[in-house]
Amino acid sequence: MVTVEAAIAVSALLVALWLGANGLMAVTEHMRCTDAAREAARLTARGERQLGEEAARRIAVGADVVISGRGDAIEVVVSKRGPLGLPLSARAFAVPEPR
């Protein structure tokens, strides 16, 4: 009887640890998306759009990077699938520097 209870407890502990590890990985990937969006917006605002896209793809590997101009602002959206298929996305804005 104790063996069955111990097996259930160990299994529950392993599932909790697995979910916790995936949660930490999701947070880390979201932070990478945020960093990538910020860096791409900054570089695009300086007039280096291609360099911004490349930097974002290097920071958030496997992410989709969309850079668009909205009036007098630049918007960058970086999105990807995280652990367990969670959709992760980050958005950053910048104002273009005067030439």
**Per-residue DSSP letters for 16-78?**
HHHHHHHHHHHHHHHHHHHHHHHHHHHHHHTT-HHHHHHHHHHHSTT-EEEEEEETTEEEEEE
Residue burial 17-43, b: 16+ Cβ < 10 Å; e: rest: eeeeeeeeeeeebbebbbbbbbbbbbb
The residue type found at 15 is V
Query: Taking 90 as the threshold, does the pLDDT of residue 81 lie above it?
Result: yes
Q: How confident is the model at residue 99 (pLDDT cuts 50, 70, 90)?
A: confident
Report DSSP state, residue 91.
E
Q: Does any domain span residue 70?
A: yes
Q: Does any domain span residue 6?
A: yes
Q: What predicted TM-score, i.e. pTM, was given to this entire model?
A: 0.84
Range of the domain at 19: 2-94
Q: Does any domain span residue 39?
A: yes
How many domains does the structure of the chain reveal? 1
Q: Does any domain span residue 59?
A: yes
